[in-house]
Amino acid sequence: MGILGRDAGGVEWLVRPAETGRWVVPVLVPLVVVFVAYAWIVPDGLGEATRSVGVAAVWGLALIGTLLATLLVLFAITAARRGATAARQVARTPGTWIAVAVVAYLVLLTAVSGRMAPLPVFDALDRHWQGKVLDLLWLAILFGMLHRWARTEAGLRLRITPGSARPALLTIVVVFGIFVGLSALAVALDPSAATTVDAERLAFNATIPNLTEELIWRAAMLAVLDRAFGTPWVVLGAPVGWGIVLTSVVFGAGHGILVDLDGVWGFNVAGGLFAIVMGLALGWIWARTRSVWPAFLLHCAPELGVDVGMLVAG
């Protein structure tokens, strides 16, 4: 049953993540269940599971640090352009920090979900499906409890903003075509650049992983931040604000600051910069259409474009 608010007359009103804490504990249930299952099925590996959660939490804190640093930069820009009073007004608004706290919590949730040691049932798979399935489960709890917010503000709906279909579709097709062409060209110039495209890779790139990232970074985080900071700018028909900058930078950090399931850290500057650009594009298409599904398709476009390019070249 969803969380609903009612006014004095008994009329239902929308409840958002930053306005209630009743969803905070329930979304932890899938993670706890997997951890308990790991302890039961692989008792000798409990230490590994615990260590993986610790590493994931540290990685998540690094992303939260990026979030706060970006926020401080935006405060400084606001102070330079509109004066210190305007910046202080934003900083002193309680809703600002509640929204940031909600986003930080979501960052930690996806960090731990994505890097918790996998159960043996996933051993036969090359990709880390468990993390994405976990993300999908806790997201289902979040959106289920706040279903009216999910439909009206998070964009969990099929209906899109009138007039947005053509620019959204054009963007998706162009991005897909560019990556098909670049991949085919790379293989034509250097056959050693070819990689195997199997059914699991296609399924991974076309389904849950990209969907969960859009549900987390755009449908949840961006919706929360847009409510807190507003959307005073219009970019190619899309109302945007600080939220798109914050989510894109942290999204980029998540792809640029790397840590694997064994706790080995690394950096990918090019990957991080590309993810920031993609984050801006994904945030734009979400804001333009007010639906998560075009953003999901755009998220799939580069990866499936590479896959198709490899198949064409091969």
DSSP string, 131-157: HHHHHHHHHHHHHHHTHHHHHHTS--S
How many CA atoms lie within 13 Å of 302's alpha carbon, on the beta-carbon side? Answer: 11
Residues 113 and 138 sit within 8 Å (Cβ to Cβ): yes
Q: How many helices (H) and strands (E) does the chain have?
A: 13, 6
Summarised one tens digit per residue, pLDDT across range 266-288 is 999 999 999 999 999 999 999 99
Report the pLDDT value the prediction gives residue 11, as an integer from 0 to 100. Answer: 40
pLDDT at 110: 97
pLDDT at 9: 43
What is the largest distance, in Å, between two alpha-carbon atoms of the chain? 70
For the chain, which ranges sit under pLDDT 50?
Answer: 1, 6-12
Token representation of residue 45: 């590996």
Amino acid at 78: T
Name the β-bridge partners of 12: 6
* Separation of alpha carbons 40 and 55, rounded Å: 21
Sole residue written with tokens 């489960």: 137
pTM of the model: 0.93
The model's pLDDT over 207-249, given as tens digits with 9 standing for 90+, comes to 999 999 999 999 999 999 999 999 999 999 999 999 999 999 9
Domain count, the chain: 1
d(CA 307, CA 309): 5
As a whole number of angstroms, the distance between CA 314 and CA 312 comes to 5
Q: Half-sphere exposure of 129 toward its Cβ, with a 13 Å CA cutoff? A: 15
Contacts of 223 (CB under 8 A, 6+ apart): 149, 153, 154, 155
pLDDT (0 to 100) of residue 235: 97
Beta strands in 83-145 (DSSP E): none
Q: What is the pLDDT of residue 1?
A: 43
Could you list the residue range(s) of the whole structural domain that residue 22 is in?
A: 5-313
- Residues contacting 204, CB < 8 A, separation 6+: 127, 129
Tokens of 132: 């994405």
| Residue 3: per-residue pLDDT | 55
SS3 124: coil
Strands (E), the chain: 5-6, 12-13, 233-235, 238-240, 257-259, 265-267
d(CA 303, CA 313): 15
The residue count of the chain comes to 314
Structure tokens of 263? 């706790």
For residue 297, what are the CA distances in angstroms to 170, 173, 205, 208, 305? 12, 10, 11, 12, 11
Number of C-beta neighbours around residue 125 at 10 A: 13
Sort residue 163 into left (φ over 0), alpha (ψ -120 to 50) or beta.
left
